[in-house]
Amino acid sequence: MMFLVYMVFPMIIVGLAQWKVRNAFKRYSNVAASRRMTGAQVAQSLLNESGIHDVQVEEVDGDLSDHYDPKDRKVRLSSKNYHGGHLAGLAIAAHEVGHAIQDCSGYFPLHVRTQVLPVASLGDKIGFPLILAGLFFSASGLLNWGILFFAAAVLFQIITLPVEFNASTRAMTLLAQGGYLSPEEVPGARKVLNAAAMTYVAATAASLMTLLHYILIARGGDE
């Protein structure tokens, strides 16, 4: 029963959140923005308006693979958003520009996330295998190390939340104040970004519940 609470239920939550964001993207990727600009054009324009001239905008393969790379200083947009002139594409492009602005303005949570990333990446790779090995061999040392590494990955997810919400807030401000969206288009763009943000919230909540499950096992409080 506790396995269902700590493991299966979180997976359902994450699945529902992912379904919601894909649904929102599908809906608003069929709604053309009145400015008739592509996502790439909007991203470049917003960067210029923000005084950022050393960040490039480029196309990347994949579906909803959009991201900002602080190391290479590039806003990468998936093909649909790079070439598309729809509400979903403009909202996501502005969101990634929001991350670039965070980077250039020294936004503290983004800096912390960048510092935590190497340990979190390691934890994401070896945390779960160590936990499984600890459980299989009844080795408390391996189990505890696995939990520690897994906790580092969860910490990264927690730090990511304010970074993502702040980038979305910046995006909506840039789009609305810059005249890229009409008042009637703002709610649609906001729904896309809100749905995307909820995937981070759901994933973090699921990871926290999974971490708690493993901690209880390590302490002998769950089976």
Looking at the annotation, which residues are catalytic? 96
Region at 56 (left for phi over 0; alpha for psi -120 to 50; beta for the rest) = beta
Say how many residues make up the chain: 223
170, two tokens = 């910046």
Neighbours of 140 (CB within 10 A): 12
How far CA 205 is from CA of 6, 105, 218, in Å, comes to 10, 29, 20
Strands 74-78, 56-60: pairing kind: parallel
